Amino acid sequence: MSTSTEDELATPGGEQPPGETGARTHRWPRRRVLRWTLLGLVPAAVGGGWAARQWLGERERRVEDEEMGPVDGYEAEAGLAKGGPPEGRMGDEAFARLLTQQATIPCFAGSPRASLRLAKALELAPSYAPARVLNACWDMQTDRPDLVPKVLSHPSVRDTPEARLLLELTERRPRAPSWSQAFFDSWRALGQPDFSKSTLLPEPLEWSHVISDGFTRSPSDQTWRFPLMVLYPELAEKEQQWLLEQVRASQSVPLLMALREQLHSLEEQAPLRSFLLSAVEERLGQLAGPSPRTLQLALVSFLAGSPPEAPFERRDLEALEKISALREWKQPSSEQFFLEMRGLIDMMYVPGHHAWAMASMAQATSHGTRLLQRTRASKAHLSENELRWLGRLLYEVGARLREQPSRLELDMGLRLQMSGSELMQHVPTREECISAWGQLGNWEDAVKKAAYDRWPLAPLREESCVHRARNELAWMQSFSGKGELP
């Protein structure tokens, strides 16, 4: 799971961050959130909320993060209480840019932490357009649509495509059955403007972002802990024994598959990977039994213990022949697992976002990556007939993946079939893969054109995760003009 600590983020009163001097730009850097201290996660009723690492460090503790809370801490740090920043310190617009950046993830999450920062940013720099767009998004999702026209009436943003879409969305949302439908209809009504290069929207909130902004309520039990550690396992390094016990007792194939994906993404010598990976694969083998029902499960034991640079031998091809005969890629479906995980972590902000991250990992597309790595290592070791045999097997495995309604599985299925076609030297299937890959690229471009993942509207984000879990490909196709939203 990709995260990054933004503790290096400039704090109020600090030196102006590199890159913010000279020419000004509205393009925001991608914000990655956060380092959690899972060992300190306790229900609010017990210990006053999460002991999560603060974004702004010790300085933020002086500031009450409420709608009408004081801003003295910010003003003191920025030198604003004295009429302006001291020499060498941040100017108003640089500070407004910083506050807007710090409000972005809370706005994506629907967290009240966004409110004070946005208010202060507009107070400092009323003409800073990204703050106005973000503020309009915040007003919309907090049921204050009447404030949106005023926020977007400023000359710095008034005539922009972003403002026009938000105003259209404000009008359509009360009449639409969902946020997704209102957004989709607004975008189409405006002629499908291209927001892919927008300088007013933040960078996309990718599915692999882990958002730590507290719980919306106290958890009723501890069932959330294991899924949360799967979501970000590095934080469990001091509870390895507890996590091992959960692995050995787990009955959930997709949860263990997601954890396996996470462990494989760590450095090979990472302590947590060294401690847990074999236990996870052993437990998956136990759940699979002597006759695995799905290809995904069968590949766990087939690939376990062999490095990616190990060439296939004839006995491997014989084993893969039997495995590739399995007609089902995985069980349960991504949608079933998504709904289960969302129910377990529904006390988090944007639980659907995090549940979709786990469902995506549980697709276990790293199986395909490992097969391709070993195929490349095998080209100098297998005979021509054996390479054709391997090509056919890769094509069969790819076919199972292509039956799944998700972007990651389709992409990996096409990669496997492309490699298989080349080994078989079969031009028609190779051309079909190229055509399908181009089609997938068109769908991806259409979603990027709408900048769906760049609009910081938590309800919109949550609804899209439901659509994606059910049928991500149909959801993507609707943006390219093929059908309606699923």
**pTM, to two decimals:** 0.82
Q: For residue 332, is the peptide bond before it cis, meaning its omega torsion is within 30 degrees of 0?
A: yes
pLDDT tens, residue order, the chain (486 aa): 544 333 333 333 333 333 333 333 333 332 332 333 232 333 322 222 222 222 222 223 333 333 333 343 444 444 344 444 555 567 899 999 999 999 999 999 999 999 999 999 999 999 999 999 999 999 999 999 999 999 999 999 999 999 999 999 999 999 999 999 999 999 999 999 999 999 999 999 888 888 877 788 888 888 999 999 999 877 788 899 999 999 999 999 999 999 999 999 999 999 999 999 999 999 999 999 999 999 999 999 999 989 999 999 999 999 999 999 999 999 999 999 999 999 999 999 999 999 999 999 999 999 999 999 999 999 999 999 999 999 999 999 999 999 999 999 999 999 999 999 999 999 999 999 999 999 999 999 999 999 999 999 999 999 999 999 999 999 999 999 888 887
* Residue 363 CA from chain centroid, whole number: 14
- The closest of 430, 481, 309, 315 to 379, measured between CA atoms, is 309
- Size of the chain, expressed as the number of residues it contains: 486
18 sits in the region (left: phi over 0; alpha: psi -120 to 50; else beta) called beta
- The per-residue pLDDT for 87 is 52
Per the CB < 8 A criterion, the answer to whether 229 and 236 are in contact is yes
Cα dist from 292 to 256, 322, 344, whole Å: 15, 11, 27
CA atoms of 262 and 361, how far apart (whole Å): 8
Helix (H, G, I), strand (E, B) or coil at 152: coil
| Residues 60, 202: Cα–Cα separation, whole Å | 23
pLDDT given for residue 39 in this prediction = 29
Place of tokens 């926020």: 151
**H/E segment holding residue 382:** none
Q: What would the two tokens of residue 362 be?
A: 């549980």
76: its two tokens: 């003191």
Torsion angles phi and psi, residue 348, rounded to 5:
-80, 160
Q: Based on the number of CB atoms within 10 Å of its own CB, is 445 exposed (0-12), middle (13-18) or buried (19 or more)?
A: middle
Distance CA 72, CA 63 (A): 7
What distance in Å separates the CA atoms of residue 65 and residue 347, rounded to the nearest whole number? 20
